[in-house]
Structure 1
Amino acid sequence: MTTRRLETRLHPDDRIDPGKAGPQVMRHVTVNAAESPIAWLASRGMLTDAQLRAGERLRTDYERAGLGARVTMRWDAAPPGKSRGGARASDASLARIDAHRRFHRAIEAAGPGLADICWRVICAGEGIGGAEKALGWPARSGKLVLGLALDRLARFYGTD
């Protein structure tokens, strides 16, 4: 498990409304920035161990495949060619390709209706409430749908 990294942030429901006059109340909350949303759910007994392991495997494949958005340009040099035929793929590149394929197969195994919640909560680290709003789902439905998706991922990864 990761170490705790506590940060104080503004509560996401508290936004400054420029059209509102007078003082506005802003709540500060302390969050563990090193904890993923599914680890938070599992620590409160809302996910099984198999579901947590499957979700973490998906997130690991997502990160190893390098599918996240880049903030800056990559400045590392291209690897030199190993033979006359050009550059040979290194072990790191092969691991990245394998993770990329595994991630996409896992998302396919989750299914078209469940892949969205998997990507938003597990890979992007979005909270369940935010994912529900973005997907246009009713409140408190995301946890149930995420559980179903994690069950399918557990079957795919063999963690069930």
Structure 2
Amino acid sequence: MTGARGQAGDDADRFRRAHQERALVEGPEGPVEIDLTESPLRWLASRKDAAGRPFLSSTEVEAGERFRRDFTLAGLSPRLGATWAAPVSGGRPAGSGPDYADVVVAAKQRLDRAIAAVGPDFASLLLDVCGFLKGLEEAERERRWPLRAGKVVLKLALGTLARSYGLGETATGPARAPAIRTWRAPAGDPG
């Protein structure tokens, strides 16, 4: 019986993976594999505006995905079942990477800073769409907004979030750094 169950599990996993668009995205603690098709933000990013340009800019998408990563790492995603893994305690070798609790706390702090930066009106929509992965139609219905209003408000929220993260469409700064003339201390300086 175990063989049949194992085969069914393998088939289900193969089927699930065939219908996902998986990608590695760089997180603060290393690469994380995500399914791009589960995000309403990625769906909206694939849409074009009236002029044929992407509705969301790459920085708006990056800001929303960064928000989503921190939301997930902070442990705020709802669990659909029990966690059967044994709790992990100390005894890890030194230098083996960040402690799980540190990762969760750091993600929660980044998320709190982002929420404070965008304000409560934008934060609730960002939490629903980027965190809880609700569709825009559902978010509009819950807020009793007119159709397609969520799309515009989400774009404004993502723009504000991108600015709070310091993301921009173009690199800014001097064309090149000033030349370094010497590495030596000035004459007469003992230091």
TM-score, with normalisation over the residues of structure 2? Answer: 0.60
In structure 2, C-alpha distance between the alignment counterparts of 1:34 and 1:4, rounded to whole Å: 12
Residue number among 73, 79, 91 corresponding to 1:64 in the alignment: 73
Q: Which moved more, 1:143-152 or 1:66-75?
A: 66-75
1:128 aligns with 2:136: yes
CA offset at residue 76 of structure 1? 2.4
What is aligned with 2:122? 114
RMSD: 2.3
| SS of residue matched to 1:155 | helix
In structure 2, C-alpha distance between the alignment counterparts of 1:60 and 1:33, rounded to whole Å: 12
What is aligned with 1:26? none
| Deviations 1:61-110, CA, capped at 9 Å, x for gaps | 0111110122222222233344xxxxxxx622211110011112111211
Q: Rg larger in 1 or in 2?
A: 2
| SS of residue matched to 1:34 | helix
In structure 1, C-alpha distance between the alignment counterparts of 2:18 and 2:152, rounded to whole Å: 27
Preserved CA contact (<8 Å) 2:38 2:133:
no
Give 1:54-93 correspondences, 5 Å limit.
Answer: 54-82=63-91, 91-93=99-101
CA offset at residue 4 of structure 1? 6.6
1:143 aligns with 2:151: yes
| Deviations 1:112-136, CA, capped at 9 Å, x for gaps | 1111111111111111111111011
| SS of residue matched to 1:100 | helix
What is aligned with 1:27? none
Preserved CA contact (<8 Å) 1:51 1:151:
yes
Identity of aligned residues (%): 40
Structure number with the bigger relative contact order (C-alpha 8 A, sep ≥ 6) is 1
Q: Structure 1 regions of 5+ residues with no counterpart?
A: 7-31, 83-89
Give 1:30-45 correspondences, 5 Å limit.
Answer: 34-44=37-47, 45=54
In structure 1, C-alpha distance between the alignment counterparts of 2:80 and 2:161, rounded to whole Å: 29
Preserved CA contact (<8 Å) 2:37 2:43:
no
